[in-house]
Amino acid sequence: MTKKLIPLIAANWKMHGDMSWAQKPVELDAAFPIAEREHLELLICPPFPLLPALHVVAGPLNIRVGAQNCHSEIKGAHTGEVSAELLADAGADYVIVGHSERRASGETDQNVHDKAVAANRADLIPIICVGESLEQREAGDAIKVVADQLNKSVPDIEDYVIAYEPIWAIGTGKIPTMDDISDMHHAIRKRVGQDIRILYGGSVKPGNASEILAVPNVNGALIGGASLEMDSLAAIAKAAS
């Protein structure tokens, strides 16, 4: 039997914010109170130093926190890196792996695979990002490119989330047609099965969220720019619930 997938609205704050942003969940809860959010999972992925403080504020408001990256190993001489185990210890439930901004600076499918394995080892749920470039889309190769990324980046684990993020839609205000999103999510669904949530990411805003979130096999969104203002994040989350 197919289980009903609870939508996931995930905020990727990227390299934004300061320690005062640990209080943002209070603003978010004021805009979209906990009692109205039963059928939805809300997640904020801040820069690393904010994680523990954000977790303390977000936890009681039923808002989860996650990280934007992790290392594949448990510990070692890896200056500047953070293990999945430490992220879990700091309060994270999720970790984004393979975001296109990281793939662009050299992260390979194998790296993404190994990070997803590490997340699973630490009891974190990896959000594995995939997506094509504009050139690949225009050449008609989008579905093939994403299938190849899925084959190489998704390990044999039970619990994970896929985020389909066309690179050309991230931070540009451009989005694919709803038919293109539907075709891609259908192709991903065939590969990952019925129990895995597939998020759409790339210029999701309050004005387009309802339409995107109504597309079959879209089980939530990964949101960059529009997640920095709690009113707009709340508006997108309301569209999903």
For residue 227, the minimal CB distance to ligand PEP (Å) is 7
> By CB under 6 A, is residue 109 in contact with ligand PEP?
no
Quick one: 104 exposed, middle or buried, by C-beta within 10 A (0-12, 13-18, 19+)? exposed
Contacting range for ligand PEP; rule: CB under 6 A; set: 54-62, 72-80, 130-138, 198-206: 198-206
DSSP 8-state assignment for residue 13: -
Q: Which is nearer to ligand PEP, 46 or 224 (CB)?
A: 224
To the nearest whole angstrom, how small is the minimum distance from the Cβ of residue 238 to ligand PEP?
17
Residues contacting 28, CB < 8 A, separation 6+: 42, 61, 63, 230, 233, 234
- Rounded-to-integer distance, Cα 200 and Cα 161, Å: 11
Residue 51 found at the interface with ligand PEP (CB under 6 A): no
The answer to whether residue 206 forms part of the interface with ligand PEP (CB under 6 A) is no
Residues 10-49 as x/- pattern, contact with ligand PEP by CB under 6 A: --x-------------------------------------
Local structure of 105: helix, strand or coil? coil
Rounded to 5 degrees, φ, ψ at 152 are -95, -25
Query: Which of 159, 91, 170 minimizes the C-alpha distance to 120?
Result: 159
Kindly state whether residue 224 participates in binding ligand PEP, applying the rule CB under 6 A.
yes
The yes or no reply on residue 92 touching ligand PEP (CB under 6 A) is no
Q: How far is the CB of 146 from ligand PEP (least distance, A)?
A: 15
**Using CB under 6 A, which of the segments 39-47, 147-155, 207-215, 216-224 binds ligand PEP?**
216-224
Q: At what angle do helices 230-240 and 24-31 cross, to 10 degrees?
A: 50
Nearest to 90 by CA among 120, 116, 58: 58
Query: Catalytic annotation on 107?
Result: no
Q: Is 9 in the site for ligand PEP (CB under 6 A)?
A: no
The DSSP bridge pattern shows strands 125-130 and 220-223 to be: unpaired
What does the alpha-carbon distance between residue 211 and residue 194 come to, in Å, rounded to a whole number? Answer: 22
For the segment 112-171, give every residue that binds ligand PEP (CB under 6 A): 165, 170-171
User: Cβ-closest residue to ligand PEP?
Assistant: 224
User: Of 12 and 83, which CB lies nearer to ligand PEP in the complex structure?
Assistant: 12
99 is an active site residue: yes
List residues binding ligand PEP (CB under 6 A).
12, 165, 170-171, 201-204, 222-226
